[in-house]
Amino acid sequence: MNAPWKSGLPGNRDPFSAYICDDSALDVIRPVVIELGWQPEKCNKGGLRNAVQSLSVSASPAILLVDLSESGDPLNDINALAEVCEPGTVVIAIGQVNDVRLYRDLLGSGIHDYLLKPLSPQQVHDALNQALAVFMSPKAGDADAAKRHISTAVVGTRGGVGASTLATSLAWLFSEQHKAPTALLDLDVHFGTGALALDLEPGRGLTDAIENPSRIDPLFIERAMVRAGDNLSILSAEAPINQPLMTDGSAFVQLEDEFRQAFEMTVIDLPRNMLINFPQLLADVNLVVLTCELTLASARDTIRLLSWLKANANHAHPMIIANKVQPAVAEISKADFEASIERRVDFVVPYDIKAASNAAKLGQVFVDANRSSKATAAIRQIAERIMGVSTDDAPGFGGEKKSLLGNFDFKAMLAKKPKVDLSQAD
């Protein structure tokens, strides 16, 4: 009974049934059951013994109300019930013994609640409602119900640092390598390169969404997004540049909401001006990939963006990526950059102009076109870290599955061990 809840109502599983000893209790329960939209015929006369008998030959309901009044040894009988009851059923016991120890023992054996007779309609109503909430809530270890979603915003500290290259590459890796259903939302509405990088036409989906946010629903998502692979859908635009963007940002927030239901991963290519205009876009973002280059200007803007994130989206875990790195010709060294932003760079992606031009020539995303490039290897590591399947040798991540969704551990680890270098060896 206290086993993890399995999603859905398998087979002919009913939402509810009750086994009650006396008519006066049944008279209280039946109207409440009707009010909740369940069948009053599911309120059976008879107590715990009858429940055990009938559940041994039929499917268990989602919620079971069972009367212990005629049971000489309630704990023993509850164990018999547990043997015939399918995992996940939320059981509420009813009885006339007012004994805290019994109550505790019952809870200990997996009973959700114990109601004392005489029953009141309000008490039954509240208990059933609460049981319903428990039944509907995902349980730990229930992979289907606790559907995870990781939302990553990729923000460039300056134009041209490669934020869009990273965003498309990460989305491609999540969907192709990790087989996770992925949405790529390109919020560079006028000059977006998300579709371009995948050699696709952006379509009107994003423009329609901005013009008509009320139309955004699962069907709209299904129709408006451009398929870029079995697991990758993209929403991008090349909005006309003769008119300003007319939006309060609500369309973007709604799109993010829908993506959370429909996909496992969301990647948002988020230009920094959009971040300033619509801070609400980060409300449900788990991770911000701050893409920078090793220059003075980028260091300054990394500092400013980090402090903005701290003030406005403290829940979102920032990850610092230095892109296009050429150690010999860096404007400032990695060590100086890190000293100035007062934190470590998480990953370094080397400069690879051949790879960039190859991707452009082939009309493929950077990592797809250049599978053996060192830059691709670095971006692959970033994707793995985000997916939580990193097997790199970073302390605390050794082969363990760890998602950044549980990034409090990650943060704590960083706080405790400031000297640990989590960055890729460069």
Ligand X SMILES: Nc1ncnc2c1ncn2[C@@H]1O[C@H](COP(=O)(O)OP(=O)(O)O)[C@@H](O)[C@H]1O
For binding to ligand X (CB under 6 A), which residues are involved?
Answer: 156, 159-165, 193, 323-324, 349, 351-353, 356, 375
Contacts of 79 (CB under 8 A, 6+ apart): 109
Residue number, 47 or 350, with CB nearest to ligand X: 350
18's contact among ligand X, Mg ion, none, with CB below 5 to 8 A by partner kind, is none
Closest separation between CB of residue 278 and Mg ion, Å?
Answer: 17
What phi and psi values does residue 324 have, to the nearest 5 degrees? 55, 40
80's contact among Mg ion, ligand X, none, with CB below 5 to 8 A by partner kind, is none
**C-alpha–C-alpha distance, residues 192 and 165, integer Å:** 11
Residue number, 161 or 289, with CB nearest to ligand X: 161
Residue number, 24 or 357, with CB nearest to ligand X: 357
Closest separation between CB of residue 270 and ligand X, Å?
Answer: 10
CB-based burial label for 259 (10 Å; 0-12, 13-18, 19+): buried
Does position 286 interact with Mg ion (CB under 5 A)? The reply is no
Residue number, 61 or 194, with CB nearest to Mg ion: 194
Contacts 24+ apart (CB under 8 A), 144-148: 144/6, 144/7, 145/5, 145/7, 147/264, 148/264, 148/403, 148/405
Question: Which residue is listed with tokens 């692979």?
Answer: 229
Q: Is 192 helix (H, G, I), strand (E, B) or coil?
A: coil
**C-alpha–C-alpha distance, residues 64 and 316, integer Å:** 41
Q: Which pair of tokens denotes residue 308? A: 């903005």
Residue number, 96 or 273, with CB nearest to ligand X: 273
Q: Which pair of tokens denotes residue 42? A: 């599911």
Q: Is 61 helix (H, G, I), strand (E, B) or coil?
A: coil
160's contact among Mg ion, ligand X, none, with CB below 5 to 8 A by partner kind, is ligand X
Q: Which of 152, 164, 207, 376 lies at the binding interface for Mg ion (CB under 5 A)?
A: 164
Closest separation between CB of residue 287 and ligand X, Å?
Answer: 17
Closest separation between CB of residue 268 and Mg ion, Å?
Answer: 12
Contacts of 325 (CB under 8 A, 6+ apart): 293, 294, 334, 348, 349, 350, 351, 426
Closest separation between CB of residue 129 and ligand X, Å?
Answer: 49
Residue number, 161 or 290, with CB nearest to ligand X: 161
Closest separation between CB of residue 317 and ligand X, Å?
Answer: 20
323's contact among ligand X, Mg ion, none, with CB below 5 to 8 A by partner kind, is ligand X
Which residues here bind Mg ion, judged by CB under 5 A? 164
